[in-house]
């Protein structure tokens, strides 16, 4: 069943609104990743908990936008007579009139640039979190000596010695 041109136009307009929602979501995510790194560095646990709560709430709310996009994709594929799994923004552009094609192309380019930036910000955040974990593990090992071997060690001359004073705190009572 092929839909009328006005039905396709309406669906494309709704898709453009959903894509605008995707753009806003990505822009907000970028700001939040930057804030997350800043709060990790400052070690502001209260603000960090608040930010993580906001991120969880936004993620749940964004699921509706994702579902709407998938529904519109399926409806547009049906209306245009193609497979929904193969309908991409690039393919959709080739099937639209010039004005709608330009609108879809503008949003596609914006989404692509935001995704590149998001990958970069995600990598920076992942590296920071990884460094924090590494630093905390090193600190724990230094303070408490966990993971170190204890017992007798030998000097270069073969003299046996007890390994002592390797930690800043003793766990022995």
Reported pTM: 0.75
| Alpha helical stretches, state H, the chain | 5-42, 45-80, 89-94, 98-144
pLDDT tens for the chain, 173 residues long, are: 445 668 888 999 999 999 999 999 999 999 999 999 999 999 999 999 999 999 888 888 899 999 999 999 999 999 888 888 899 999 999 988 898 999 999 999 999 999 999 999 999 999 999 999 998 888 887 777 665 555 566 777 777 766 555 555 555 55
With a CB cutoff of 8 Å and minimum separation 6, the contacts of 23 are: 107, 110, 111, 114
State whether CATH 3.40.140 applies to domain 5-146: no
């Amino acid at each position: 069943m092929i839909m009328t041109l006005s039905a396709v136009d309406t669906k494309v307009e709704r898709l453009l609104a959903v894509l605008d929602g995707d753009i806003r979501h990505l822009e907000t995510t970028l700001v939040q990743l930057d804030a997350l790194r800043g709060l990790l560095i400052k070690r502001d646990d209260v603000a960090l908990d608040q930010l993580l709560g906001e991120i969880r709430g936004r993620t749940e709310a964004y699921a509706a936008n994702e579902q709407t996009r998938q529904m519109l994709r399926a409806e547009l594929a049906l209306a245009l007579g193609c497979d929904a799994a193969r309908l991409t923004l690039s393919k959709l552009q080739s099937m639209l009139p010039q004005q709608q094609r330009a609108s879809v192309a503008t949003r596609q380019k914006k989404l692509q640039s935001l995704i590149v930036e998001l990958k970069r910000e995600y990598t920076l955040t992942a590296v920071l979190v990884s460094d924090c974990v590494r630093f905390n593990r090193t600190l724990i090992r230094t303070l408490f000596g966990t993971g170190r071997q204890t017992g007798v060690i030998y000097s270069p001359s073969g003299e046996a010695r007890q390994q002592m004073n390797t930690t800043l705190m003793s766990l022995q009572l």
